[in-house]
């Protein structure tokens, strides 16, 4: 494929933007090659500046669940922008989307809109600390909650599981309050809570891991976290930035039947616009300013155009629950096709799949946490990724990302995706 314009744009970008991109994973560093600069997208397809078309399996990292340029969302945005893009004052749509989120997500009684998933998780931790008066919180290795300092923490060395900074610029003072545990390891969490009795404000988790590749919780794990949080007076936070409104109308918490105290949201909630949110129990959320003492603010929070996009997307999902069975069936057909190719080529790679999320792991081990995810052959994944790209299928440019299926992917696209997988996997033998 000719990608000269993308290449020229990337060279220009590197002169003005760190790494030439506005978010690191987009630079294709994990897979080799150069990023595509996208000119337009419609339905299941992305089109780069050189006019090459690709079936989109990332869908903007989740938001484009209805495919690109969904007309009802587009119309709502065009209508809203004519009334001015921003007021910096309350608007009707903020009330309407809050009412709808409370109706759709089982655990949310009150919700605050912010501008990204990172803002949502940062704020949720702050309010959990303010509500409990405690400082520490537990996160899980391989779970990503945005780029807030408190989350950029690697597992500490040795028995003490106090975190260590995972990025320059994050201070030891910050890291000392972040405790790390392996995903799907309830016993480890039980011990952490015993060792830090009455010091832990919150446990934050992706109820289905998406940032180490797709890693569902093992049976009883989330239920066990719920019980431990009740026993220790700890706020259970489900980071549903990825899974919210994707795995079910009410997100992973509805699908898996475990109710958190707080939920963080993003991606789909904005219909493609920069929106995040955090919400949950009234008694906790009423600690948030100006109702309570925990400060949090945002110039463009509840922006009318972004609210119009998010409202239209959530309304469509709320009115069309068949979307969820449709994208689950589509994903199952794709996964079954890949499994047939793996068997055909004698490859022992493993696949994790839930709803409209899946990951093909280049490892013969069952992937249940970050340690097992790291056994993957990332060089082989890079070859596979680029072969798929050459065949017009746009995957996440990292082994440690989930894929997201949209309603715009129909039988024709399924057939092309499965065929491309067969060629790409065959090329690795
Ligand atoms: P944002 O700040 O990127 O809106 O959201 C951060 C975030 C929080 N929680 C979860 C579970 C997330 O997956 C994310 C962001 N997801 C990544 C995809 N792995 C966004 C893509 C990127 O960083 O460019």
Instruction: Pick the atom of ligand 1 nearest to 243's CA.
Output: 11
Considering the candidates 48, 56, 177, 239, report the single residue annotated as catalytic.
Answer: 239
Of 429, 423, 401, 428, the residue nearest 60 (C-alpha): 401
Of 212, 229, 241, the residue nearest 148 (C-alpha): 241
Q: Could you tell me the distance, in angstroms and rounded to a whole number, from the CA of residue 147 to the centre of ligand 1?
A: 8
111: enclosing H helix or E strand: strand 110-114
Of 40, 51, 43, 38, the residue nearest 68 (C-alpha): 43
Distances (CA, A) of 388 to 108, 346, 361, 367, 384: 40, 19, 15, 23, 6
Q: Could you tell me the distance, in angstroms and rounded to a whole number, from the CA of residue 137 to the centre of ligand 1?
A: 19
Considering the candidates 45, 54, 144, 349, report the single residue annotated as catalytic.
Answer: 144
Q: Could you tell me the distance, in angstroms and rounded to a whole number, from the CA of residue 340 to the centre of ligand 1?
A: 31
Q: Which two tokens stand for residue 276?
A: 């995040």
Q: Could you tell me the distance, in angstroms and rounded to a whole number, from the CA of residue 111 to the centre of ligand 1?
A: 19
The residue whose CA has the least distance to atom 19 of ligand 1 is 211
Considering the candidates 110, 136, 139, 267, report the single residue annotated as catalytic.
Answer: 267
Q: Could you tell me the distance, in angstroms and rounded to a whole number, from the CA of residue 345 to the centre of ligand 1?
A: 34
Asked if 267 is an active-site residue, the reply is yes
* All residues at 6 or more sequence positions from 223 whose CB lies less than 8 Å from its CB, including other chains: 258
Q: Which two tokens stand for residue 295?
A: 């400060």
**pLDDT at position 164:** 84
Low-confidence residues of the chain, pLDDT below 70?
156-162
**pLDDT at position 4:** 98
Task: Give the three-class secondary structure for 70.
Answer: coil
**pLDDT at position 159:** 46
**What secondary structure does DSSP assign to 220-242, as a single string?**
THHHHHHHHHHHHTPEEEEE-TT
Instruction: Pick the atom of ligand 1 nearest to 121's CA.
Output: 8
* All residues at 6 or more sequence positions from 247 whose CB lies less than 8 Å from its CB, including other chains: 208, 254, 255, 324, 354, 355, 356, 357
Q: With b meaning 16 or more CB within 10 Å and e meaning fewer, what string describes 268-292? A: bbbbbbebbbbbbbeebbebbeeee
Q: Could you tell me the distance, in angstroms and rounded to a whole number, from the CA of residue 283 to the centre of ligand 1?
A: 27
Asked if 144 is an active-site residue, the reply is yes
Asked if 110 is an active-site residue, the reply is no
Taking the model in full, what pTM does it have? 0.98
Please give all residues whose beta carbon lies within 6 A of any atom in ligand 1, as ranges. Answer: 23, 25, 61, 116-118, 121, 144-146, 206, 210-211, 239, 241-242, 266, 276, 401
* Contact assessment for residue 58 and residue 395, using Cβ atoms and an 8 Å cutoff: yes
**pLDDT at position 157:** 55
Whose tokens are 């890079």? That residue is: 382
Q: Which of 62, 117, 217, 298 to mutate to test the pocket of ligand 1 (most atoms within 8 A of CB)?
A: 117
């Amino acid at each position: 494929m000719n990608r000269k314009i993308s290449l020229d744009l990337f060279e220009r970008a590197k002169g003005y933007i760190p790494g030439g991109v506005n978010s690191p994973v987009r630079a294709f560093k994990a897979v080799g090659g150069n990023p595509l600069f996208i000119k337009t997208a419609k339905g299941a397809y992305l089109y780069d500046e050189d006019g090459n078309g690709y079936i989109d399996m990332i869908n903007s990292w989740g938001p484009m669940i209805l495919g690109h340029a969904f007309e009802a969302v587009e119309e709502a945005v065009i209508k809203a922008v004519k009334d001015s893009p921003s007021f910096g004052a309350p608007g009707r749509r903020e009330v309407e989307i809050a009412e709808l989120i409370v109706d759709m997500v089982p655990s949310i009684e009150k919700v605050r809109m912010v501008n990204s998933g990172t803002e949502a998780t940062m704020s949720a931790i702050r309010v959990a600390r303010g509500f409990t008066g405690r400082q520490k919180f537990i996160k899980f290795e391989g779970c990503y909650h945005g780029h807030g300092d408190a989350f950029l923490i690697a597992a500490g060395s040795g028995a003490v599981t106090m975190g260590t900074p995972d990025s320059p610029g994050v201070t030891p003072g910050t890291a000392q309050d972040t405790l790390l545990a392996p995903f799907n390891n309830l016993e480890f969490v039980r011990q952490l809570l015993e060792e830090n009795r009455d010091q832990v404000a919150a446990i934050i988790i992706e109820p289905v891991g998406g940032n180490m590749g797709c890693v569902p919780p093992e049976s009883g794990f989330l239920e066990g976290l719920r019980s431990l949080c009740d026993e220790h007076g700890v706020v259970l936070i489900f980071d549903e930035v990825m899974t919210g409104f994707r795995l079910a109308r009410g997100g992973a918490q509805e699908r898996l039947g475990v109710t958190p105290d707080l939920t963080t949201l993003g991606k789909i909630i904005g219909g493609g616009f920069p929106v995040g949110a955090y919400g949950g129990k009234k008694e906790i959320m009423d600690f948030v300013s100006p109702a309570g003492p925990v400060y949090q603010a945002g110039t463009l929070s509840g922006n009318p155009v972004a609210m119009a996009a998010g409202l239209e997307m959530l309304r469509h999902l709320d009115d069309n629950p068949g979307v969820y069975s449709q994208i689950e069936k589509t994903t199952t057909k794709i996964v079954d096709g890949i499994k047939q190719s793996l068997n055909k080529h004698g490859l022992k790679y493993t696949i994790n799949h839930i709803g409209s999320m899946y990951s093909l792991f280049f490892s013969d081990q069952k992937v249940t946490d970050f340690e097992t995810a790291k056994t993957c052959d990332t060089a082989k994944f890079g070859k596979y990724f680029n072969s798929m790209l050459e065949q017009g299928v746009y995957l996440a440019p990292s082994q440690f990302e989930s894929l997201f299926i949209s309603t715009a992917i129909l039988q024709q696209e399924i057939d092309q995706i499965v065929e491309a997988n067969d060629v790409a996997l065959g090329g690795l033998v």
